[in-house]
Amino acid sequence: MISAPRMAGARCSARLPGWAWLLLPTLALWPVWQWSVRRMSDGSDDPFGIVALAALLPMLWRERSRLAAAPRLPGLLLALLLCAVAALTPGLPPLLRAVLAVLALFSGVLALRVPGQALLAWLGLALLALPIMSSLQFFIGYPLRVLTAEVSAWLLRAGGLEVLRQGSTLEVAGQLVMVDAPCSGIQMAWVAYFTAFATAAWLRLTDRQLLRRLPLLGGLVLTGNILRNSVLVLQETGRLDWPSWMHEGTGLLVFVAVCALVLRYVAAGCGMVTHATPAAEHRSPLSPALQGALVLAFVLLALWPLLSKPLAAEPRPDNFVEWPLQFAGQALRPLALSAVEQRFAAQFPGAIARFSAGAQVVTLRHVTRPTRKLHPAADCFRGLGYRIEAMHLEQRTDAAGLQRCFVASGRGTNLRVCEYIEDAGGQSFSDNSAWYWSALSGRSVGPWRAVSTAELLPR
């Protein structure tokens, strides 16, 4: 027979396996992961996050035997709190909700972490696994392009060229060269930090060793991007008589060189780290009652989206706009919005209208405040499955200012698309990110009108 005290001790020592405390917050936040998958697969964001996720999961699996069997209660409570904020707070931007979800999941990892075990590299890979590229391009892409253009202008002037900077555009001896989204360095920075986090996780660098190396990585990426942009400007303006394929070749060469330097720099910290097994830490197991309460809380959060009633849609303000009657000398004839445009218009903080003007289809979007939802036309066409080519700047024929034009290929057609944003004072912007920062800082006053034209090209 087993005595009563021994039976009670057995009940108190009963506990869930460690992996269950990671599975619970993962399941509780399933709507966030669903949004992430949809965002990465609809064409509106580069699916780089799949690579980070593919690197993260094997790293975590390799460390499964090094996690503590009994979790710390503060880490679990923090994970539960972050799950609740991400799941229950209305009005949170989806990307912020996803960041909170990652932090919640890694609070669970923190609850199982043993002293000395690295965590920062895992967290970095998890954040990179989110669909963040288009948001980074919108919010910080333009400031980075302005910085890149300004330093490139200094370098080119030092070489004897006459260079003027207009926003993120360089004018070299009267020739305009656009420092576009790929030249912002966002993609290079993503790959560089992915290389750093993946290397640190594989080599099991401590958080302190990795943290000391992260600041220099940003400077390395910025320097490489400025050098790449300066060389490409020389090529685009004919100062370097290189074949056209060298445009991509130069970018790729600098890209590989920066990532190689990042790999070498991060891996150099491996010799300073001893890879002894982290010291064991005695932890008292959670009581069955407390474990049950925590499991129930996570389960309720997982069921909440299914059980709760959707919030009633707030009444939208009157979006009546007096649209123009003509465009570029052509009468505007109203067209119905497509099904995709109707779904987008339901969430758009403004008004959208579509017209025909001769051979062109003109889409007008009216907004009264700076908003992330005023997407570039190129992103919209990518989301519809088109391939974007030949992006360049052109002078507008109807007024002073520039417009961005490109060719959208797909669905058996080639379209020439041009777009710009105009404010109440007549100032125009060829870049959505540039418009956002000007509007946010008060240098541009609303209301604003985004104009996109699409014209069928002969095949």
* 283: pLDDT strictly greater than 70: no
DSSP reduced 3-state for 453 = strand
DSSP H/E element including 334: strand 333-335
**Segment 264-273 mean pLDDT:** 72
CA distance 366 to 320: 10
CA distance 388 to 406: 7
Q: According to the per-residue pLDDT averaged within each range, which of 192-196, 241-245, 287-291 is highest?
A: 192-196
The residues with which 320 forms a beta bridge, in sequence order, are none
CA distance 99 to 109: 15
Q: For residue 184, what pLDDT is reported?
A: 72
Full strand arrangement of the beta sheet holding 163-166: 163-166, 169-172, 175-178
CA distance 240 to 233: 9
Q: For residue 315, what pLDDT is reported?
A: 46
Q: According to the per-residue pLDDT averaged within each range, which of 64-78, 332-346, 419-433 is highest?
A: 419-433
User: For the CA atoms of 54, 57, 61, 64, what is the dihedral angle to 10 degrees?
Assistant: 160
DSSP H/E element including 87: helix 73-88
CA distance 403 to 395: 6
> Which whole-number Å values give the CA distances from 166 to 3, 145, 229, 232, 430, in the listed order?
84, 11, 16, 17, 12
* 2: pLDDT strictly greater than 70: no
Q: Are 177 and 169 in contact (CB under 8 A)?
A: yes
Q: Write out pLDDT tens, residues 141-166.
A: 888 888 888 888 888 888 778 888 87
- Closest C-alpha among 413, 349, 406, 412 to residue 379: 406
DSSP reduced 3-state for 386 = coil
CA distance 26 to 109: 11
CA distance 115 to 235: 53
Q: Write out pLDDT tens, residues 301-332.
A: 888 888 766 554 444 444 567 888 888 788 88
Q: For residue 160, what pLDDT is reported?
A: 79
* 1: pLDDT strictly greater than 60: no
CA distance 192 to 256: 10
Q: What's this model's pTM, rounded to 2 decimal places?
A: 0.77
Residues with Cβ within 8 Å of residue 31, at least 6 apart in sequence: 87, 305
Q: What percent of the chain has pLDDT over 70?
A: 83
Name the phi and psi angles at 165, rounded to 5: -110, 130
